[in-house]
Structure 1
């Protein structure tokens, strides 16, 4: 049998008791239904109906074909439903890489909620403050500052992160407080050495005028924010870190916030975090739900 459609038409004619009833049920022309049934009879080389002017009656062969045909059509329908269900089912592993501070404070809570919704979804998040190359597709999703310009990749901007400039009270007591931006050059600066490669801190006043401080000669550098955080807590110098990472330490007096009247960031303001992934990734339900969840809470235009 070349196609399932002739068999479906035959089954529907038997169920409806007429060609016109089957045509109406299947939203087809009566002539099309009749032609399909004739095609089935031709392929099986058997008459399936005893036709008269009032009603149709199944032949012995027609009764057998109806019973088997109904079973086959039902199985095919169930197969289609199973495939559709499987296609929309969220299961499997999604690999994601992100900077430690952003991944642990911002993304992890989202993934915890997502796991409650989709218990068969597994998300492996690797924290790395050094940018990975999304072209190698080692991961499904990448959170990074760089915005690759490629038709093979999609880069969705994420919300800007608020940074604070801080030092421990002990450091300030020993080295003096910071009253203006340029006085930072005489202090011990704890700088981020990756992922961006930018050698500076950027300070913006209420009129969005920018002052840049060179951090290339910083006393201590690391590509891991947590390392800089620990160094600041141990009185090694002044650090610029994400607010969510250090606001508890500021609240309990372990760190002191400096130059509060300025908006500060450790890279130019036209650079910001992106969620990067290969085109086609969101065709996979497991990746789509993770992307949608992250962008819903952390996307540049999310509330």
Structure 2
């Protein structure tokens, strides 16, 4: 491929200005114009609409830009990958994660990372609220489930499974539900949401639940379930140990929802620093 004129074209497309593109590239405006014109002649297509006040992409230009931007991003990524092999993470990292998952799974790994790289300083904010990464100045966020913001970069770290379970004591006293409709006859331990998520006939289904305890603490709900107070739906990292020991028993396994992905989310930045990339890779490696 002939790369001549590609960088100039991309900069003009992004700045909508030959002058601003020239400033970004530290070359003359005339040189940018010549390179873009030569590119148009080589491709035999008009890439820009030009007026005295505005420069905008043609339909062909828009298509060409999307492909060129992807190629340049890949080259940047390749260069960073090589550079990062010789770089050490350093500086401050501001991250956020869900409270309990952060306490149990993320922060121990972050602490190990800080212990390993003495030049890294981490400021962590654990909350179940969806914070605005850009507005609040976060470098990194750990998120669970479907991602709503497509403008962010994301790397899948692992996944989690929600289990519905109860203690043998509860099952002996109240029996087990075998269908989703039977849940309304049972004592359910309710968390932040008043419904539980299931998969029925391949489709997601939310079922409203009620019972003797409402609490926004997963640990408190787990404790109540262990004491036979009711049925609970909690992520695997709360209940796995108790399922293995038999203190809790899974219910409604045929309706269990699909695994929920867990993501590292960070702002789209082609110059992502080694400290963030190292931390994300470290967490991904040690969570699995």
TM-score, scaled relative to structure 2: 0.58
Deviations 1:111-148 (A, max 9, x none): 34423431332334333233323232343211123523
Given the alignment of the two structures, is residue 276 of structure 1 paired with residue 265 of structure 2, yes or no?
yes
Deviation at 1:161, TM superposition (A): 0.9
What corresponds to 1:250 in structure 2?
243
User: Is the Cα contact below 8 Å between 1:188 and 1:219 reproduced in 2?
Assistant: yes
Superposed structure 1 runs of 4+ greater than 6 Å apart: none
For the residue of structure 1 that corresponds to 2:256, the secondary structure is: strand
Given the alignment of the two structures, is residue 184 of structure 1 paired with residue 183 of structure 2, yes or no?
yes
Distance 1:135 1:109 in 2: 25
Gapped regions of structure 2 (runs ≥ 5): 1-82
Q: Structure 1 residues 99, 282: closer, same or farther in 2, change over 3 A?
A: farther
Q: Map 1:10-29; keep pairs closer than 5 Å.
A: none
157, 182, 199: which one aligns with 1:203: 199
What corresponds to 2:113 in structure 1?
114
User: Is the Cα contact below 8 Å between 1:105 and 1:245 reproduced in 2?
Assistant: no
User: Is the Cα contact below 8 Å between 1:178 and 1:259 reproduced in 2?
Assistant: yes
TM-score, scaled relative to structure 1: 0.55
What corresponds to 1:289 in structure 2?
278
For the residue of structure 2 that corresponds to 1:246, the secondary structure is: helix
Distance 2:177 2:266 in 1: 42
Gapped regions of structure 1 (runs ≥ 5): 1-83
What corresponds to 2:56 in structure 1?
none
Q: Structure 1 residues 179, 148: closer, same or farther in 2, change over 3 A?
A: closer
Distance 1:133 1:199 in 2: 26
Deviation at 1:202, TM superposition (A): 0.7
Distance 1:111 1:277 in 2: 16
Number of residue pairs matched? 204
Given the alignment of the two structures, is residue 147 of structure 1 paired with residue 147 of structure 2, yes or no?
yes
What corresponds to 1:229 in structure 2?
222
What corresponds to 1:241 in structure 2?
234
